[in-house]
Amino acid sequence: MKINNNCARKILLEVEKIPFGETLTVSQLQEKMSDFSIEDVLAIVTLFNREHYLTVLNKASYDDNDVFRDNKIKGLTERGYKTLDLIRNDDVWNFIMERINNFDELSIFTIFNLANKIINVKHNELLDLPKEFFIDNARW
């Protein structure tokens, strides 16, 4: 199944809002994001759980990475927070969407990488560093 990039970003933003010590089921998450289907949400939560961007509790099976509607999302991992920081800003997200003709065809991980490069360039310009001192680190 193809990942909806806008849905992926929205999931990270919504999961960040979960109060400490509380959880949100995948179904409840999808209700907050009614623009997207439960299939889109399940696919992305499964991917983000597998790649350690968020933590899902009560997994029905430990043999696979399937996530189900009643599984509980605990919150973002450190990796999830670092990644969200790259795409949280609407200006960065919209800049990528407007500049890339095939935005919907890109992997969400490619978008994370592009956002990281854009932010690094902005930081380098802000600090007015010569090119040989450009900061180039992958935060996600």
d(C-alpha 5, C-alpha 1), whole Å = 12
Same domain? 65 vs 109:
no
Of the pLDDT bands very low, low, confident and very high (cuts 50, 70, 90), residue 59 is low
pLDDT digits (tens, 9 = 90+) for 80-139: 999 999 999 999 999 999 998 888 899 999 999 999 988 888 777 767 666 665 555 555
Predicted TM-score (pTM) of the model is 0.84
> Which pLDDT belongs to residue 66?
64
CATH number, domain with residue 25: 1.10.10.10
Mean pLDDT value across the chain: 86
Q: 92 lies in which domain range? A: 87-133
Same domain? 43 vs 93:
no
Could you tell me where the DSSP H helices lie in 17-104? 26-32, 38-50, 78-87, 90-99
Please check whether residue 71 lies inside any domain of the structure. yes
Total domains, the chain: 2
Q: 63 Cβ partners below 8 Å, 6+ apart?
A: none
d(C-alpha 126, C-alpha 72), whole Å = 41
Note the Cα 90 to chain centre separation in Å.
14
Q: Is the pLDDT of residue 52 over 70?
A: yes
Produce one character per residue of 76-91: b if its CB has 16 or more CB atoms within 10 Å, e if not.
bbeebbbbbebbeeee
For residue 61, what are its two tokens?
């099976």
Please check whether residue 139 lies inside any domain of the structure. no
Please check whether residue 138 lies inside any domain of the structure. no
